[in-house]
Chain A
Amino acid sequence: MKYTLNVNGQSRSVDVASDTPLLWVLRDSLDLVGTKYGCGVGMCGACTIHLNGVPTRACMTPVSTVGKMKVTTIEGLAAASGKLHPVQQAWSDLDVAQCGYCQAGQIMTAAALLKDNPKPNDEDIDGAMAGNLCRCATYMRIRAGIKLAAGLTTAGKGGAQ
């Protein structure tokens, strides 16, 4: 089946089976490999993208359901100028990642949280991020990164407490 998708502000055409999860359309057909496969069943969040700004599991989203919705992936989060989104910048400053595999999903979820709730408290942060696994367990820095991006702290050491 042929589909025309709006991905990171561009119109992209693909020809895939209608049940193909958006995850594999992005990765295999569109060479946008920043969105990751971790579980395929909605449990890890590695595949988190935004659909019309809402954080969504790309592994659970058949391409046939996307329609005209705006798809934003980690590759499209920074400004067109290349200036990083504040969450990406905080992740860089605090050296949040270990292996880095989960981090695109973490960043996409965190960016959506801050759009909804620009000054989240600790519980808001844990609540919003609970769907994103980090096997390397960088959770302390994920919390710190969100606070830094929200302007609730100023840049300090990585792994703030």
Chain B
Amino acid sequence: MSSPSLAQPVGRRDFLKLTGLAGGGFALAFYIRSGGEAAAAETGDFSPNAFVRIARTGAVTIVSKQPEMGQGVKTSLPMIIAEQLEVPWKDIAIEQGDFDEKKYGGQSAGGSQSTPSNYDNFHVLGATVRTMLVEAAAQTWGVPASECRAEKATVIHTSGKSLKYGQLVAKAATLPVPAKDAVTLKQPKDFTLLGTRISQFDTPKIVTGKALFGIDVKLPGMLYAIYEKCPAFGGKVVSANLNEIKALPGVRDAFILEGNGKVKELVPGVAIIADSTWSAFSARKQLKITWDEGTVVNESWESFLKQAKEKSTQPGGKTLRKDGDPDAALASAAKTVEAQYSYPFISHANLEPQNTTAHWHDGIMEIWSPTQIPSIGTGMVNRVLGIAPEKIKLHLNRAGGGFGRRIGADYLIEAAAIAQKVNAPVKLTWSREDDMRHDQYRPGGIHFLKGGVDAKGKVVAWKNHCFTFGEGGSPGSGGSLSGDEFPGRWIANYQADQTMFDTGWPMGPWRAPGSCVFAWVMHSFIDELAHAGGRDPLELRLELLGEKDDMPAGNAGATTKGKQAAASYNVARMRNVLKFAAEKAGWGKKKFAKGSGAGIAFHFSHRGFFAQVAEVTVSKDGQLKVDRFVTGVDIGAQVVNLSGAENQVEGSVIDALGVLMYQELNIERGRTVQSNFNDYPMIRITDAPTKIETHFLKTAFPTTGLGEPALPPVAPAICNAIFAATGKRVRQFPLSRTDLRWT
């Protein structure tokens, strides 16, 4: 996180700092085995660091330390080591490492940081092992190492003689591990693996249905748990018919947990322990619980929406930024536009419902969990259950989707708290309904915008009053607008205010927190101003970005948190990728019939620069079809795994389209209205675009991540295309709230 992005949400950054991960990178010394002793004596393997193991047979194993949730990191990071190690990909086995940050360094998978925080170190790790193998061969032959090279797991001397890595293991294990500067890195021009398309390492297991995910864990003697929580957030158990439940078939136990008073940690509830998932699910239907629902029942989305409308013209709770005199500039503008934008709360809806298996044995809490930031879960177990950190053992399972949801560890602490009361391993499985009713939601928001353009269509004034939602006095993750959010800093007369509604609702990071909604609001309204001023949407955006190559982090009027969130914005990179995407899409060159059109948007987040063009058709009866979607990507110098990279971009495009089209999680009386995919529809294959193109613009900057930053500009590009096609402006999510019919 050394160069946090402009739109990096405050909540998330603080959060990472809290967990000690703000530094991102880690010292290489972490992994090197102490005393230069490179061998794992018991096995005879050569294992000079925590990540690479070469057996005497020549078998090469790479340990993947990051949690895998579909972002492909279990494949991509080992690819870096394999490239430097000179071992063919097909000969490499990958093992998932347990949670052990002393051994591996940081193991957090969030904020699209796995690649940027590990990229350089993983090159060095692979090169270090290769250097030792070359040295081992050189010593065996009594020749200088400079006369030897490594290729296909073999060291070859200029004379032509060669030794396979497996034959060098014994010797290499006796050598000291060279210092970082003493290893020569293979250079990008020589890469044969990085940048190619590699199928995920777990693919054979995925396509044949082998146990892989958290929910697949099975241990000898394992029992199965459900955990019923109050439908109203944070509600407490007053009483429950535990004796009746305990008498049901297959039920082993039932008990109440008090919770620790935090809506995103151990929430109060009733646990049922049974001998199968179905026994537990069935017994649950007989539960009769009296709840104390608390005051959260007074809080509903609709009433907040009404209050926002009433307060929209009043000064905001906080002024995030004020430059120049926006009111005077609006008064003297040639044209002004006013608009209200709103988006609801949404759920993460990981397809694998939350789950964790825990076993309290021998004073140790042993846990198997699909989690994105394992240290949050173990920290919670330590804090809430009072178990010492060294007594907590956490195994990382592949997660059936992350999207930020599994940064929260509520399900993990529930499983551990339940396991403390059960004399056996116990797997807690959330039902889909649990998952949707007890998510940590992406906060909704409402923006009241005013903008003005001069006679030439140049943007001269911008005012925004944003209403956001908080929990316990601070905005939910991704809920807080930054004073530096584009186009803040670029417009001379600019004001952004924010008012927060405090709630008892659990909120958490959702794929590209903040960016995933703010990019839509800003780039939709920029589009409105372009049309008001009679300007081409691309050309106006280029004019807005201006000629400067760099925009320093702002300060005028920014709150402390806003300042922390802000960062220098590389305008040149954005301009270039915007022109690049426009050119790939043929922007301005196509003629569209009525009902079809193109839209454009861009965004910078998670260190990546993205510009996108959508081409859509809206039928007369108002049905949207995305015909073509073009993404220009600048994530720096090197795509690691082209297959995974394209998959992330395509997934982001369709995910964002799905959020736009369908997703809406209503909260009434402090609880969700929706509870499963029948009332909370998600995008299906029938709505996927006909064509998605992803183009990478290679630049000289460090390689960065792809899990999130392709998503934010998608919705505005599509909505701007809808306007071009129909003259209808989409100002509310989901799309069903806007009548798109035309004649």
Residues of A bordering B, CB below 8 Å = 16-17, 19-21, 24, 27-29, 31-41, 43-44, 46, 73-75, 77-78, 84, 88, 91-95, 97-104, 107, 125-127, 129-143, 157-159, 161
Contact = CB atoms under 8 A, between A and B. Distances in A.
Contact of B400 (A17, A101, A158, A159): A101
A99 B351 contact: yes
Contacts of B648: 98
What are the nearest 3 A-B pairs in CB distance? A34-B209, A99-B70, A101-B400
B278 A24 contact: yes
Given A95-B198, A98-B72, A161 B352 contact: no
Nearest to B644: A95
B691 interface: yes
Interface stretch (B166-174, B290-298, B442-450, B675-683): B675-683
A24 to B, nearest CB: 4
B207 A161 contact: no
Interface string B635-670: 000000011101110111111001000000000000
24 contacts: A17-B279, A27-B277, A32-B209, A34-B209, A36-B352, A40-B431, A44-B351, A91-B207, A95-B199, A95-B644, A95-B647, A97-B203, A97-B206, A101-B213, A101-B350, A102-B400, A104-B206, A132-B685, A133-B677, A137-B651, A137-B688, A139-B684, A140-B650, A158-B199
Interface residues of B, number: 72
Given A99-B399, A135-B351, A140-B692, 19 more contacts: A20-B276, A33-B218, A37-B215, A37-B353, A73-B209, A77-B208, A91-B207, A95-B197, A97-B206, A99-B70, A101-B400, A129-B684, A132-B684, A137-B651, A139-B654, A139-B685, A141-B650, A142-B685, A157-B197
B199 A99 contact: no
Secondary structure of the A contact surface, majority rule = loop
Interface string B614-644: 0000000000000000000000000000111
Nearest to A101: B400
B677 A98 contact: no
A132 to B, nearest CB: 7
B685 A39 contact: no
B685 A129 contact: yes
B206 A136 contact: no
B61 interface: no
Nearest to A159: B646
Contacts of B203: 91-92, 95, 97, 100
B221 interface: no
Nearest to A137: B654
B210 interface: yes
A36 to B, nearest CB: 7
Contacts of A103: 206-207
Contacts of B688: 126, 137, 139-140, 143
A159 B686 CA distance: 17
A37 B429 contact: yes
